[in-house]
Structure 1
């Protein structure tokens, strides 16, 4: 089941945990792919702490949806409004539930919730995720991010992609 997150209540801890898992995986991959130097400690960069510790505050201007399986929150998507529609800032399904449609359900909810274009950026080494985005009609677009390993993508309901 995909539903709006209750960041001021029952879902705050689960969303913080899922976002932390996402950020730790991403930081590890960035090091492994040469996109970032190895950190001095296993602590998350300070820029991310608020998302983990207080998602209600960090995502105050966002729409957040969670995926639930068997009563447990196992996935999250964070949508930040922008001038063109929304940007997917975080999309994560717990590794234990991958292959069960959680990521697809969250992505479909993000597309349905958008009022206009849906944008995102994804690391180029995440081929499976890129294929998921492309299967939903996202296309690669010129980058709005200076980091060379990021692929920027857009879904436009006006164009069907």
Structure 2
């Protein structure tokens, strides 16, 4: 399992600018706590945003819906058929992406999260680059339409909006076409 590094764009949250973020594949059970923490933060923010927009009810007793709580409780099992990548700064893991790849080599990003304190440090871009290195075909994802910063980042990375495959309202479906063989070797 290789580790990728990237030069930081700008650092916020007290991160050390001399140490760029790194990305590596998560290892279970060693990374269970960090993966759970990052997935939990992503899911809770998403649920809060959905509640604020009238798309969901507040969490009962602070517990996520079962379909999501299982990802937090046992990420190794929940993501057994996926690749989980962790991005880290010297302070520890600050970002995660969950990627599935089909037999044709096309991929789908299922979860993508960078801790708010680490945003602007090049973590998200490094995670997207790491995903792109693992996918030969097209790459797709869905993102809530109100997440303007995320939509801008995905569009800068070559994603375009496509007809929705989602039944949930307010989700934009995006796809990045397969890279040519020439662009993969550059």
What range describes the TM-score normalised by the shorter chain of this pair?
over 0.9
> How far apart, in 2, do the equivalents of 1:106 and 1:146 lie?
27
1:35–1:149 Cα contact (<8 Å) kept: no
Q: Report runs of 4+ in structure 1 exceeding 4 Å deviation.
A: none
What is the TM-score normalised by the length of structure 2?
A: 0.80
Q: 1:15 corresponds to which residue? A: 35
Cα distance change of structure 1 residues 149 and 18 upon mapping to structure 2, 3 Å threshold: same
Q: 2:102 corresponds to which residue? A: 82
Cα distance change of structure 1 residues 129 and 54 upon mapping to structure 2, 3 Å threshold: same
Query: 1:144, CA displacement in angstroms?
Result: 0.2
- Pairwise CA RMSD: 1.6
> How far apart, in 1, do the equivalents of 2:179 and 2:115 lie?
32
Q: 2:170 corresponds to which residue? A: 149
* Structure 2: runs of 5+ lacking an equivalent: 1-21
2:162–2:175 Cα contact (<8 Å) kept: yes
Q: 1:126 aligns with which of 147, 151, 164?
A: 147
Q: 1:69 corresponds to which residue? A: 89
Q: 1:39 corresponds to which residue? A: 59
> How far apart, in 2, do the equivalents of 1:128 and 1:155 lie?
17
Structure of higher CA gyration radius: 2
What is the TM-score normalised by the length of structure 1?
A: 0.92
Aligned residues: 159
Residue 115 (1) aligns with residue 136 (2): yes
1:79–1:88 Cα contact (<8 Å) kept: yes
Query: 1:8, CA displacement in angstroms?
Result: 2.5
Residue 96 (1) aligns with residue 117 (2): yes
Answer 1 or 2: which has greater strand percent: 1
* Structure 1: runs of 5+ lacking an equivalent: none
